[in-house]
Amino acid sequence: MALNIPGVIVMVLFYLLVLGTGIWASFKSKKEAKKIQGDKTEMALLGNRGINLVVGIFTMTATWVGGGFIVGTTEAVYNPSMGLIWAVMPVAATMCFIIGGLFFAKPMRDRKYVTMMDPFQIKYGKVPTAALSLAALISEIMWVTGTLIGLGVTMSVILDLPYTISIWISAAVAITYTLMGGLYSVAYTDIIQLILIFISLWLCVPYAMMSPASLDITTTAFNNTYQAPWVGTLEADRAWKWIDNFLLLGLGNLGLQNFHQRTLSASSSSTAKITCFAAAFIVPTLGIPPILLGAVAASTDWNLTTYGSPSPVERGETGLILPITLQYLTPSYISIVGIGAVAAAVMSSTDSALLSAASIFSSNIYKNIMRPQASDREIQWVIRVSVVFVGLAGTSLTFLDNSVLMIWMLRSDLTYTLMLPQVVCVLFFNISNGYGAVSGCVVGMLLRVLCGEPLIGLPPLLRFPGCTLVDGVYVQRAPIRTICMLSATFAILLFSYLASLLFIKGLIPEKWDVFKVKAQQSPPAECGAKTEFDELKSQNESDEVSEPMLDSRC
């Protein structure tokens, strides 16, 4: 197949539109920065906490509806071993936003944190925060990888552009406008991108459904026609695994800086909450077109198309099913529109992940740990370098695998089993401390490794009831990720309590209390007096971080 020149021209125009919007937003950001006398870093990372409700809804929704969301949902519906019942990403996102809006948005926004790692910095100090920040950075890099894979496979199939070139061009555009305008550029380009996603996806669906090579999807929903029914089945022995996946993809995202950056940049805590609730209903709506396209692909006789036989699943091209469907079941001009939808989705998520990772590194690692005396100008350059580094790292990892669903699951696994317990404990349990945080990391990571992971060829050493041998590979039927998450949470609270007890009772010398647990648990002093924990807070937090989780004031 020759290079699709009209498609390339359309994509160039699209990239110019997005880049132009980003440049305009960067000028707006600089104009706003001149009006304030405070820290310019907050302007770059959080838009000076001035993102209004409408822009907030657009940017929150666009961040979630990325290339991984669109391509991964289509892949799940088409995959004969999964089907619609396993394509839980749209519904799981609703649960994430509702819980986030009810429990997380207000306390985070009211305390005016810059990143989700700030409460760790205040309460635990430098060492635990540094370790957890690295885990958060890895999850953001994997987010970049998953979204870019979705675009790379789509452009390589439809435009016949090399996979490598497709990914690097898209990454370069996203990096450029993120560098120029920070959150303002990310937020305002998200508006353009979300509108394009909505229009483009819904435009592609009717053409695909009317293809002469495809049967009515209602006919194949429950009948084994060309492959297993696209609705899928949920056997009793897989029910716990389904619940595990649902909680993983829903609650796991609450451990992402991506989510919290949107609520922290809102103009008020009420705006942050409404943004979450609005996104909870909009995101599933944008999940309908990928579901329908996956259903059409499962209802297609590929012998009647130029794709031919065998089918994509038999060729091992399940991860490419969205671009294959657009290429062979819709007119060429419609498939180009479909690429625009995927490209818009990819960049709306990629730029968010780039800025989120830069926020954590510049604020929680560089400024608070490596160089507390760093000037505002120096931090601005650190943010720019971080954006470039994360973009290069995430783009480089796209060559390890072309399955968006696999990368999405692995990234969610990390945030669900490691970061979510930490965020919940630091925000809602006063007993938690640095010793518990470190113990929770060790317990969660060790248990997760022992449970194995077939996606990366890691065999299980710890086999829960129901673990069976399938095609020479042991498959866990138990909800192992949820077990690991709950075990990590229990370990954090248990070891935090034990450490507090041992130090407060004097069973361990206070000089060995490297995380200052005894100071943290000290009773409040009289009004006007300064407690030992107040002094600890002033050592651990940066100048811009708000009040501690444990208030010692009268």
How many CB atoms are located within 10 Å of the residue 73 CB? 28
Written as six digits, the tokens of 352 are: 């968010």
How large is the angle between the packed helices 67-78 and 404-414, nearest 10 degrees? Answer: 110
Where in 50-170 does DSSP place strands (E)? none
How many CB atoms are located within 10 Å of the residue 377 CB? 10
Residues 280-284, mean pLDDT to the nearest whole number: 94
- Does position 306 have pLDDT exceeding 70, yes or no? yes
Q: Which of 60, 7, 67, 15 is nearest to 394 (CA)?
A: 67
Average predicted confidence (pLDDT) for the chain: 85
- Does position 33 have pLDDT exceeding 90, yes or no? no
Q: What is the pLDDT of residues 208-221, one digit of tens each?
A: 999 999 999 999 99
At residue 116, the pLDDT reads 94
**Percent of the chain whose predicted confidence (pLDDT) is above 70:** 91
- Does position 139 have pLDDT exceeding 70, yes or no? yes
Q: How confident is the model at residue 38 (pLDDT cuts 50, 70, 90)?
A: low
Amino acid identity of residue 412, one-letter, is S
The least confident of 29-43, 137-151, 231-245, 250-264 is 29-43
Residues 418-426, mean pLDDT to the nearest whole number: 95
- Does position 258 have pLDDT exceeding 80, yes or no? yes
Task: Examine residue 119 and say whether the peptide bond preceding it is cis (omega within 30 degrees of 0).
Answer: no
- Does position 364 have pLDDT exceeding 70, yes or no? yes
- Report which secondary-structure segment, H or E, holds 473: strand 473-475
- Is the Cβ–Cβ distance between 170 and 325 less than 8 Å? no
Question: In whole angstroms, what is the distance from residue 147 CA to residue 54 CA?
Answer: 24
Residues 484-502, mean pLDDT to the nearest whole number: 96
Q: What is the pLDDT of residues 55-81, one digit of tens each?
A: 999 989 988 887 778 888 999 999 999
Residues 337-348, mean pLDDT to the nearest whole number: 78
Residues 241-245, mean pLDDT to the nearest whole number: 93
Question: In whole angstroms, what is the distance from residue 157 CA to residue 1 CA?
Answer: 9
At residue 549, the pLDDT reads 37
Residues 247-265, mean pLDDT to the nearest whole number: 91
- Report which secondary-structure segment, H or E, holds 412: helix 404-414
Residue 469: strand, helix, or coil: strand
How many CB atoms are located within 10 Å of the residue 67 CB? 30
Written as six digits, the tokens of 327 are: 């290429």
At residue 20, the pLDDT reads 83
**Percent of the chain whose predicted confidence (pLDDT) is above 90:** 43
- Is the Cβ–Cβ distance between 394 and 142 less than 8 Å? yes
At residue 546, the pLDDT reads 39
The least confident of 67-71, 303-307, 491-495 is 67-71
Question: In whole angstroms, what is the distance from residue 226 CA to residue 309 CA?
Answer: 12
How many CB atoms are located within 10 Å of the residue 2 CB? 5
Q: How confident is the model at residue 37 (pLDDT cuts 50, 70, 90)?
A: low
Q: How confident is the model at residue 403 (pLDDT cuts 50, 70, 90)?
A: low
Written as six digits, the tokens of 54 are: 């409408």
Residue with tokens 């970061």: 419
Q: What is the pLDDT of residues 105-119, one digit of tens each?
A: 999 999 999 999 999
- Does position 533 have pLDDT exceeding 70, yes or no? no
At residue 399, the pLDDT reads 76
Question: End-to-end alpha-carbon separation of the chain, Å?
Answer: 74
Residue with tokens 């000037």: 375
At residue 243, the pLDDT reads 95
Most confident of 39-48, 95-104, 186-195: 95-104
